Amino acid sequence: MTLVKRNEDFPMWPSIFNDFFGRNFLDFTSKNFSATNTTLPSVNIIEDNDQFMVELAAPGFEKTDFNIELNNNVLTISSDKKVENETKEGECYSRKEFSYQSFSRSFTLPNTIDGERIGAKYDQGILKVSLPKKDEAKPKPAIQIAIE
């Protein structure tokens, strides 16, 4: 084992080089690949005072392609879309990530979510699932306490 001294004056340089040069761009076992060799849609989760918002990137779908289910505080977003594999003559893909054939993403929700008011909207390739917080979970304004 060799000890390596880090230069604390430029702490980001090793990270940048490792991130860029340390990748195998043809690695099909990446964490974003499922067992069916299709990629899983990326997700953003945003929180504000009133709700959580789950944004799932799924271009090329219709809103009827999605199934959203809440069961025992586990939110599952899934799709089972049939994709035709049309290849034009002379084309050969070395990597094809544009086909989400089927996927399932599950999220364990906190007890502060009001499951009865969950809503979803699909627009321009983004599925947005609104997870409203229960009233008791919302932050309360500060109270001024008088000194006697």
Q: Could you report the per-residue pLDDT of 51-87, keeping only the tens digit for each?
A: 999 999 988 888 999 999 999 999 999 998 766 666 6
* CATH of the domain spanning 33-83+98-136, picked from 3.30.70.600, 3.10.580.20, 3.30.70.360, 2.60.40.790: 2.60.40.790
Q: Where are the domains of the chain?
A: 33-83+98-136
Distance CA(116)–CA(52), nearest Å, equals 14
Distance CA(30)–CA(33), nearest Å, equals 6
Average pLDDT over residues 125-148: 90
Reported confidence tier of residue 24, pLDDT bands at 50, 70, 90: very low
